[in-house]
Structure 1
């Protein structure tokens, strides 16, 4: 039987191209915006013969894990996804990656803003950039969606009219994290070891040992690890084992993984000290993270995510594992790649932070003061366990940090406003 091809007028007339990079941006920015766009517009692939196609282009980024494409594919929201390794091929030969209509909009939602400008110029599409802190290529942006009025103030006077303040895209996370499934009573601690291999190789063995110590300090507390969409339980097991050299420096190991039993539908990680940690594989896990009394995390986009959810946290960077920090982002990664200076990493970070009053966790960066504790240096897991016990033993301190985090969030509705701006560019 001969297959019948749809007529040529079934080709999309317009394209919305999302530009993004790492796991944090995909989860907290891209996913909610994509869902909003599909709710407002008939778009492919959800509507097979719609006149608008929604596509994702991943861009080169040192913060990416390499699993972003697989995670995004699981949503079934994009007609095509172009991997980061094919970005330059797309620039040089767009036709190789499908039919591109004459009209479209490129939306920047993560990575280097230049990639968005470059792709929109190549495709001759309009460009809208979501700017958290600064619009770096304002003359090449048709529209700038700013997180705050401060972003607009930094623009040249003649370009301010291109900018609209939409607010914080993560401000809606708390609203979306409806507690339809309340956690059982007790103290709940979320462990976020990171999603990149370099962070997992440190975070898994370190935080497993913290959990073992903390359970002895605070009996009957409960732990969850939300499995990032760009990693897996298999990787968690790998980085806790002897194949990971860093794991050899810690006593805590994974004894086994148990299947879900009882009321909670999650697998359980059991350490060799009999500590139970629930593994949440559904994405996103905001509904459960937001109910936790405290989170233990490393630096990265997850600190912004926790802040948006109003979850108190302790941010931990154990700098004793310098040789794996070369793949980290920001100042840590830069210094760790320097053959001599990296051995003075702790001292350099201390001096840098004292002189510049800079911070590494997003809530602190945003507030320009210490909102959440940052523990950076040669840290022992038991130190973090004892500090966590102190926080858990002081509901007033936890409430205070939660209120500070909520005060940092912008008004809700940024996703809706961003959606409206994209639609306006498509229509005009």
Structure 2
């Protein structure tokens, strides 16, 4: 085989972990591991959501040979030279997995390579790109017949999580597993939480305003003295055994409110059901001291906003033990740094998460979730993509822009979690507003006490997640483009 280069163009943390990882794995499976024949390079472009650790993460993938960080991108785009002055083979393919679709157009002219663009929602530059791997057939509807031969529907790359599971997920096949509750026989299919037409999914509900969903009277959130706290006696603990995942995000804009809120919810649930356990799959772009700092009232004022007791990082001396966040009320939350943490997530009865790629991965795994976006302070949320993200992070004026952008967002909010976007209906709850730990905790306890509701969500997730295989199809397209050199 004539030596070839495959150049992956990507940008943010979500793309690097959920797109690049499965694609480079699939490329090696199809093209082999002989680096003298096939070399895989990753070049990152700037992203407002980047943590600065994306290059190290990409370089950690065994399938990747070399990586250039985002700070050196513009000189590469303009002059075609990398910071380390990489050599390039005569033949190659550029695979676009995040950034601006114009980047592969420019770079391909400099390197003389073929181009493959993965497109979720929009495909551009039809006349200048060689092949498009698109998420769904809708993207081909407006394509000129002149270019339709370039388009292949490959599916959603975010669904590759289910393919990477190492062990069978018993929760997916046994809806009532890992839950021990005397009320398991109860069946409430018409619950407001388990149907897409619930109060949580209506555009005019309290969810669409900066005020919390807590005013909706059909939800478990509206009953702080609900049957959950009385069925075994007012102060009797609930006999629930469950593993609950906590995914507060990876960026400061989300962690500032997310860490204290999510941990305060965990404390509340644990106070009612002491046998519940909690884990945080730590994002690969986040180190433990930084994560812990968001639970420290001296460093994060939102700890007091949510009446959270605070937490400190405890790193055990024994290597076989997991580090923990120990809260002021004595709750130990295990921190897991394996990546990806799909096997761990698959063991969870339910997860608390924020918007982002996490929802796609949980949906692909069939794990029930509640998606939280607290707005206790409108200018705290600044992790939007594109121009809104740039405006919200401007020095001086950023706070004002953030308030305006978030206010507009809350007024026009559509579906945010990926499984809901796939289904075009709210199959997992999205709670947006001035969220309070006790009321969200009651919702989680209601789910755990009624496992048929969790089973309903699992079934719906399985029905909308589609089939994995997008990475393999993209690798096949790349293989076809490499073969064009011999024609």
Q: TM-score, normalised by structure 1?
A: 0.87
2:134: which partner in 1? Answer: 146
1:101 has 2:156 as partner: no
What is the aligned partner in structure 1 of residue 11 from structure 2? 21
Per-residue CA deviation, residues 309-332 of structure 1 (Å, 9 max, x unaligned), is 111111111112333322333798
Following superposition, the deviation at residue 302 of structure 1 comes to 1.2
Q: Which residue is 1:218 aligned to?
A: 273
1:409 maps to what in 2? Answer: 465
Partner of 1:187: 242
| Alpha-carbon separation, structure 2, partners of 1:61 and 1:299 | 17
CA distance in 2, matches of 1:113, 1:332: 19
CA distance in 1, matches of 2:52, 2:80: 22
The reply on whether 1:125 has 2:118 as its aligned counterpart is no
Structure 1: distance between partners of 2:126 and 2:468: 25
Once residues 396 and 193 of structure 1 are traced to their aligned partners in structure 2, the CA distance between those partners, rounded to angstroms, is 26
Contact preservation (8 Å) 1:65, 1:230: yes
Alpha-carbon distance change, 93 to 333 in structure 1, aligned in 2, over 3 angstroms = closer
1:135 Cα offset (Å):
1.1
Q: Aligned to 1:82, which of 55, 64, 68?
A: 68
1:92 aligns with 2:78: yes
- Select 1:69's aligned residue among 55, 66, 73: 55
* Residue in structure 2 matched with residue 378 of structure 1 by the alignment: 434
Match of 1:158, SS state, is coil
1:172: which partner in 2? 160
Q: Distance in 1 between matches of 2:247 and 2:161?
A: 17
Distance 1:260 1:225, change over 3 A: farther
| SS in structure 2 of the partner of residue 259 of structure 1 | coil
User: Is residue 2:445 matched to residue 1:389?
Assistant: yes
Offset from partner CA, 1:180-203 (integer Å, 9 cap, x none) = 698995311111111112222222
Distance 2:371 2:386 in 1: 15
Residue 341 of structure 1, CA deviation? 6.8
> What are structure 1's unaligned runs of at least 5 residues?
1-9
In structure 1, which of residues 317, 322, 327 is the aligned counterpart of residue 378 of structure 2? 322
Which residue of structure 2 lines up, in the alignment, with residue 196 of structure 1? 251
The CA distance in 1 between the partners of 2:443 and 2:391, in whole Å, is 28
Matching residue within 293, 296, 309 for 2:365: 309
CA distance in 1 between counterparts of 2:142 and 2:449 reads 43
How far apart, CA to CA, are the structure 2 residues paired with 1:244 and 1:417? Answer: 45
Counterparts of 2:387 and 2:86 in 1: how far apart (Å)?
39
Does 393-402 or 340-349 show the bigger shift? Answer: 340-349
1:60 aligns with 2:27: no
Structure 1 pair 328–133 and aligned structure 2 pair: CA distance change class (3 A) = closer
Structure with bigger RCO (C-alpha 8 Å, 6+ apart): 2
Indicate the SS of the match to 1:326.
coil
> In the alignment, which of 224, 229, 253 is matched to residue 284 of structure 2?
229
What is the alpha-carbon distance in structure 1 between the residues aligned to residue 324 and residue 68 of structure 2?
35
Matched, 1:369 2:425: yes
Describe the SS at the equivalent of 1:179.
coil
For 1:159, which of 147, 154, 175 is the aligned residue?
A: 147
1:10-49 per-residue CA deviation (whole Å, 9 max, x = no partner) reads 9x83210111122222222211221222222245xxx45x
Match for residue 420 of structure 1 among 476, 479, 482? 476
Report the counterpart of residue 283 of structure 1 in structure 2: 339
Matching residue of 1:113: 101
Q: Quick one: structure 1 residues 139 and 318, their matched pair in 2 at CA, closer, same or farther if it must change by over 3 Å?
A: same
Structure-2 residue corresponding to 1:269? 325
3-state SS of paired residue (1:140): coil
CA offsets 1:66-123 (integer angstroms, 9 cap, x no match): 1111112222432221111111111233344311122211111123322233322332
CA shift, 1:292, in A, is 1.0
Q: Following the alignment from structure 1 to structure 2, what is the Cα–Cα distance between the partners of residues 400 and 385?
A: 20
1:6 counterpart residue number: none
Return the offset for 1:173: 1.9
How far is the alpha carbon of 1:127 from its aligned partner?
Answer: 0.8
* Structure 1 position 211, deviation (Å): 0.9
Q: Which runs of 5+ in 2 are unaligned?
A: 172-176, 179-240
Give the secondary-structure state (helix, strand or coil) at the position aligned to 2:294.
helix
**Post-superposition CA distance 1:135-166 (Å, at most 9, x none):** 13322221111122222223222211111112
How many residues in Structure 1 have an aligned counterpart in Structure 2?
409
TM-score by length of 2: 0.77
Which of 293, 306, 311 is equivalent to 1:254? 311
CA contact (8 A) 2:80 2:107 kept: no
Q: Which residue of 1 aligns with 2:209?
A: none
Given the superposition, is the C-alpha separation of residues 251 and 173 from structure 1 closer, same or farther in structure 2, using an over 3 Å criterion? closer
Partner of 2:339, secondary structure, is coil
